[in-house]
């Protein structure tokens, strides 16, 4: 996620300046709720920013902005202070009308790059040399963090302090532990993001080094071909979908597959299985095995409180089961064809190795691809522990605070808590503590209901409005491959975004060739996770960005198209793993393609053609 060379130096045609963006009328109070350090200032006009719709495709509730705050704080620490990446520091972020923009801090002074390179070698190379040991240690640390979050006490404010507390001379009342638990909840979340970035930039760095070598050694090689050289790697983020496939097979083996019908709710299916006796109960026992821990995966990317886990809402996994069962009964192979992917990557690696002219080049090539294979399981696998399992625990704990405040009239329902910033929530908790201790009604009763209504209305209004894909002057070059591979942002793409409205009659949309193949079908434009249920067999998914938990829909679709993302973003990786054509990083697909329109996706050329 490095952001090299993102400062512009020439006055070429650019995107709107940040200062030209206006807060949508009637939402000024909601905009002001975001902390001062997230607001645009006049000085920001001199820099290039782009809308981070990959991570934040929907307007952000004020509490949910903690997912940007904690993440960018930890990312910058890893880049700048811990591993000392030579050419890039951290990421600055701003928010307006609920939309998150980011901009990078590049290191351009050669002397400073040289100084940081020496530090980087002393630090990063140690991690590479000891990767397996440190990664095993990382998993242990993450599990300790997860268990600590699970062990946080239930929130209780009894009318009278329990007599046993008095007789034990505890000397601290229950209201104190409400604040302590909240502070521990926040501390754990900020700590988690430091763990998240401990290996991530190094993992990307190993792949990017190999990527850069291949681009120079084989000038005609595509990004997609290089990516296929690391396909078929096992990672925990694929495991939830693997568990669904296992459960589909179990249903057939136990003879209960007829209970899984399209349109039936999870409760209806579970009740019907319970009525079947032993075979139904045996399947439910297998479900329980899968749920802990593999259903601790969110239906989103882990950045919004309302993207609940499969364990909180079984709708997503149960909606996928009828399709998997039908495919299995037809004799179709359910698993990712990992053996085929491994055979293909082995052949590609060998074929390109033969093109190298010297033993020295071949030795370097071997070393780089070996390291890329070692680090890649972390690059995808960490998401399960961090963005999904831990983040879900975090948001559910915040819901508990919402519940105890809603019970006392601070707002109407527990979910309303996410319309308070984490600073405001602490203030509300102290208000509650004071009220409980002195017997007076909490002052928040007269304050928060109107504010919550105002902020809810603002989120709804912001969702109706489009936002510029980028802001400020266009940089001369974008030479950081991570920006290209993850966000799909190149200088050529920016130019295409700038001229998007100048060729309205074109029937072609260009993006990154993410996964080979050609498919025609009906476009299903999906703008939020709630719309996934509209996908039907053979549809072409058109979206802003996909995330790991959308893997079950890849059994239905014929191809995938996204606005954001490069060859190493999730849509591209999953499409390659499941052998589906994909074009990513189009910038405009969700705007130019009508829902229900017939389109053709050429994943080898990176072109989407509108057929009607």
Q: What is the mean pLDDT of residues 256-267?
A: 92
pLDDT at res. 609: 95
Distance, CA of 588 to CA of 500 (rounded, Å):
8
pLDDT at 488 over 70: no
- Can you give the pTM of this predicted structure? 0.89
* 166 against 530, higher pLDDT: 166
Per residue in 87-132, pLDDT (tens digit) is 888 889 999 999 999 988 888 899 999 999 999 999 999 999 999 9
Distance, CA of 85 to CA of 107 (rounded, Å):
9
156 within 8 A of 174, measured Cβ to Cβ: yes
pLDDT band at 76 (very low <50, low <70, confident <90, very high): very high
226 within 8 A of 376, measured Cβ to Cβ: no
pLDDT at res. 504: 58
DSSP result, 263-323: T--HHHHHHHHHHT-HHHHHHHHHHHHHHHHHT--BSS-S-STTS-BTTT-THHHHHHHHH
473 within 8 A of 209, measured Cβ to Cβ: no
Torsion over CA: 164, 166, 172, 173 (sign): positive
pLDDT band at 481 (very low <50, low <70, confident <90, very high): very low
pLDDT at res. 181: 98
pLDDT at res. 7: 46
pLDDT at 541 over 50: yes
Distance, CA of 469 to CA of 496 (rounded, Å):
11
The mean-pLDDT minimum among 387-391, 398-402, 446-450, 562-566 falls in 562-566
Closest CA to 224 of 472, 504, 575, 469: 575
Mean pLDDT of the chain: 89
Per residue in 491-528, pLDDT (tens digit) is 777 777 777 655 556 788 988 888 889 999 999 998 77
395 within 8 A of 305, measured Cβ to Cβ: yes
pLDDT band at 178 (very low <50, low <70, confident <90, very high): very high
pLDDT at res. 486: 62
402 within 8 A of 414, measured Cβ to Cβ: yes
Joined together, the tokens standing for residue 310 give 């499969």
Torsion over CA: 423, 429, 433, 435 (sign): positive
Q: Residue 443 burial (CB < 10 Å; 0-12/13-18/19+)?
A: middle
pLDDT at res. 1: 38
Distance, CA of 361 to CA of 150 (rounded, Å):
50
User: How many degrees, rounded to 5, is the angle at CA 91 between CA 82 and CA 99?
Assistant: 145
Q: What is the mean pLDDT of residues 20-38?
A: 97
Q: What is the mean pLDDT of residues 313-333?
A: 87
Per residue in 37-61, pLDDT (tens digit) is 999 999 999 999 989 888 898 899 9
Q: What is the mean pLDDT of residues 600-607?
A: 91
CB proximity list for 534: less than 8 A, separation 6 or greater: 524, 526
């Amino acid at each position: 996620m490095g952001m090299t060379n993102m400062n512009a130096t020439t006055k070429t045609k650019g995107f709107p300046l940040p200062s030209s963006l206006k807060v949508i009328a009637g939402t000024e109070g909601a905009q002001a709720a975001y902390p001062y350090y997230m607001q645009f200032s006049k000085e920001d006009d001199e820099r290039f920013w782009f809308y981070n719709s990959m991570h934040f495709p929907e307007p952000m509730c004020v509490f949910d902005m903690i997912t940007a705050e904690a993440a960018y704080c930890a990312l910058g620490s890893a880049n700048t202070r811990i591993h000392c990446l030579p050419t890039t520091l951290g990421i600055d972020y701003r928010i307006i009308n609920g939309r998150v923009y980011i901009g990078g801090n590049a290191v351009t002074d050669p002397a400073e790059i040289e100084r940081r390179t020496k530090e980087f070698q002393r630090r990063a190379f140690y991690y590479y040399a000891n990767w397996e040991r440190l990664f095993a240690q990382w998993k242990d640390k993450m599990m300790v963090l997860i268990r600590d979050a699970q062990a946080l006490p239930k929130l209780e404010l009894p009318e009278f302090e329990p007599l046993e507390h008095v007789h034990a001379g505890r000397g601290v009342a229950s209201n104190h532990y409400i604040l302590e638990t909240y502070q521990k909840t926040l501390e754990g979340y900020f700590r988690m993001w430091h763990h998240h970035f401990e290996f991530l930039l190094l993992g990307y760095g190993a792949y990017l080094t190999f990527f850069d070598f291949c681009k120079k050694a084989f000038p005609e090689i595509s990004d997609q071909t290089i990516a296929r050289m690391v396909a078929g790697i096992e990672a925990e983020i694929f495991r939830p979908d693997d568990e669904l496939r296992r459960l589909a097979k179990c249903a057939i083996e136990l003879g209960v597959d007829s209970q899984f019908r399209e349109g039936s709710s999870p409760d209806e299916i579970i009740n019907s299985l319970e009525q079947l006796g032993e075979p139904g109960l045996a399947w439910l026992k297998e479900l329980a095995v899968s749920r802990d821990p593999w259903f601790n995966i969110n239906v989103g990317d882990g950045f919004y409180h309302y993207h609940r886990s499969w364990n909180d809402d079984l709708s997503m996994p149960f909606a996928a089961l009828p399709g998997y069962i039908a495919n299995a009964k037809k004799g179709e192979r359910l698993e990712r064809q990992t053996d085929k992917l491994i055979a293909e990557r082995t052949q590609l690696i060998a074929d390109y190795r033969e093109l190298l002219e010297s033993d020295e080049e071949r030795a370097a090539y071997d070393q780089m691809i070996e390291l890329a294979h070692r680090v890649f399981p972390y690059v995808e696998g960490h998401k399960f522990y961090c963005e999904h399992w831990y983040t879900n625990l975090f948001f559910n704990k915040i819901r508990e605070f919402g519940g105890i405040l809603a019970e006392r009239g601070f707002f109407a329902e527990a979910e309303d808590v996410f319309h308070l910033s984490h600073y405001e929530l602490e203030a509300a908790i102290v208000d509650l503590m004071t009220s409980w201790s002195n017997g007076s009604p909490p002052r928040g009763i007269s304050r928060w209901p109107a504010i919550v209504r105002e902020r809810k209305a603002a989120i709804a209004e912001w969702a109706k409005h489009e936002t510029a894909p980028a802001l400020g002057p266009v940089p001369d070059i974008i030479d950081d491959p991570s920006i290209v591979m993850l966000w799909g942002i190149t200088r050529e793409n920016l130019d295409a975004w700038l001229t998007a409205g100048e060729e309205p009659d074109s029937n072609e949309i260009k993006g990154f060739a993410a996964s080979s193949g050609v498919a025609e079908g009906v476009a299903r434009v999906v703008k939020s996770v709630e719309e996934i249920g509209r996908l039907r067999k053979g549809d072409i998914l058109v979206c802003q960005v996909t995330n790991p938990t959308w893997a079950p829909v890849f059994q239905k679709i014929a191809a995938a198209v996204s606005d954001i993302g490069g060859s190493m973003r999730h849509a591209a990786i999953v499409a390659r793993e499941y052998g589906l054509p994909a074009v990513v990083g189009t910038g405009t697909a969700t705007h130019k393609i009508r829902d229900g329109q017939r389109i053709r996706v050429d994943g080898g050329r990176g072109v989407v053609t509108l057929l009607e």
